Amino acid sequence: MDWQGKTAFITGGVSGIGFGVARAFSNAGMQLALSYRNEDYRSEAAKWFEEQGREAPLFVKLDVTDRKRFAAAADEVESYFGKVHVLVNNAGVSVFGPADEATYDDYDWIMGVNFGGNVNGLVSFIPKLKAHGEGGHIVNVASMAAFIAGPQAGIYTASKYAVRGLTECLRYNLAPYNIGVSLCCPGLTKTNAWDSALKRPDKFKDSGLGEVNKAELEKFGGAFDLGMDPLEVGEKILKGMTENRGLILTHPEHGPDIQEIYETTMAALPDEPAPEGRLEIERLRREANRAAAAGSKIGLGDLT
């Protein structure tokens, strides 16, 4: 797709990876609507567009967990631009701590933003992307945590695995409408994502992940300074969209992890023959998936 003149809505689009995506899209000639919560970040983003002599984005104040507001925001974007072609579900929180000590509030907050925010974006925008019939693209920004688990990132990892699974399935569903779907899994990026724990809403204040030590958190945040430039992540997302890639990986240093996951997975398969009936079922499933990826609508009856 030629992205010149197309409209994109990016959640969390005024800072971090979201702002990197916004700049990459603007460089490609796209019209932008950017959601935000922090007024200072909004002002800084607006200043960049002004200094570059670019068309100002439509800034939309939004808590991605607020379904009613998300639906209204989608209507605002469509009304302002006429059509929406691209949705980037980027907003999220990075909060860490031992999952065995987590509370309901920990789960509800992190899953509500990282997975629920994606759901709200999809439900609010997919009908609008389908309606104009011109095709488009959806990018769900997860993390390498969608592949790599760690002892201090249980709920965060669960949220990113959920985004991964939903995105991979949704790619089949939207292929018949010429709407591409990509999962982007960035690694360490130079952002302020490390301070999420300092912005925890009061209604989710009961946490078992441990008391927030601001000094230690800021020290941890120093590692993010070594991360990839968000603009580079945004450029790789744009390239992946243009190539209609289902998976966009941005950081080459995770090669050993992917290799280990592959080898461990293959080694876990039983070394024994499978019955012909089961083999046939799996063959039919693969054929149905390939047909769906090619743009055919698949019903449950096509899977058997």
Bridge partners of 249, per DSSP, are 185
Yes or no: say if 9 and 31 are a contact pair by the CB < 8 Å rule: no
Tell me if 2 is assigned to some domain.
no
- In this structure, the answer to whether residues 235 and 283 fall within a common structural domain is no
- In this structure, the answer to whether residues 186 and 119 fall within a common structural domain is yes
Alpha-carbon distance of 31 to 6, in angstroms, equals: 6
Question: Which stretches of the chain are assigned E, i.e. beta strand?
Answer: 7-10, 31-36, 58-61, 86-89, 136-141, 179-185, 247-249
Supply 120's token pair.
């709200």
Q: What pLDDT does residue 300 have?
A: 52
Q: What is the pLDDT along the chain (304 residues), one digit of tens a residue?
A: 799 999 999 999 999 999 999 999 999 999 999 999 999 999 999 999 999 999 999 999 999 999 999 999 999 999 999 999 999 999 999 888 999 999 999 999 999 999 999 999 999 999 999 999 999 999 999 999 999 999 989 999 999 999 999 999 999 999 999 999 999 999 999 998 878 888 899 999 999 988 777 787 777 778 888 999 999 999 999 999 999 999 999 999 999 999 999 999 999 999 999 999 999 999 999 999 999 998 877 665 565 4
- In this structure, the answer to whether residues 170 and 282 fall within a common structural domain is no
Catalytic residue positions, numbered = 156
Domain closes at, from 214, 229, 255: 255
The closest alpha carbon to 196, from 107, 110, 88, belongs to: 110
CATH number of the structural domain spanning residue 65:
3.40.50.720
Yes or no: say if 172 and 236 are a contact pair by the CB < 8 Å rule: no
- In this structure, the answer to whether residues 198 and 291 fall within a common structural domain is no
Instruction: List C-alpha distances in Å: 2 to 30, 128, 239.
Output: 10, 19, 12
Q: What pLDDT does residue 197 have?
A: 84
Alpha-carbon distance of 138 to 184, in angstroms, equals: 10
- In this structure, the answer to whether residues 196 and 295 fall within a common structural domain is no
What is the amino acid identity at position 118? Answer: N
Tell me if 65 is assigned to some domain.
yes
Alpha-carbon distance of 167 to 181, in angstroms, equals: 7
- In this structure, the answer to whether residues 123 and 245 fall within a common structural domain is yes
- In this structure, the answer to whether residues 89 and 232 fall within a common structural domain is yes
- In this structure, the answer to whether residues 223 and 250 fall within a common structural domain is yes
Q: What pLDDT does residue 132 have?
A: 97
Tell me if 220 is assigned to some domain.
yes
- In this structure, the answer to whether residues 177 and 248 fall within a common structural domain is yes
Domain count, the chain: 2
pTM equals: 0.94
Tell me if 126 is assigned to some domain.
yes
What is the amino acid identity at position 2? Answer: D
What is the amino acid identity at position 40? Answer: D
Structural domain that includes position 275: 270-304
Alpha-carbon distance of 95 to 110, in angstroms, equals: 7
Tell me if 263 is assigned to some domain.
no
Q: What pLDDT does residue 53 have?
A: 96
Alpha-carbon distance of 33 to 203, in angstroms, equals: 29
Residue 286, burial from CB neighbour count under 10 angstroms (0-12, 13-18, 19+): exposed
- In this structure, the answer to whether residues 147 and 67 fall within a common structural domain is yes
- In this structure, the answer to whether residues 100 and 240 fall within a common structural domain is yes
Tell me if 1 is assigned to some domain.
no
Tell me if 120 is assigned to some domain.
yes
- SS3 call for 211: coil
- In this structure, the answer to whether residues 249 and 275 fall within a common structural domain is no
Tell me if 262 is assigned to some domain.
no
Alpha-carbon distance of 272 to 137, in angstroms, equals: 41
Count CA atoms closer than 13 A to 29's CA, side-chain side: 6
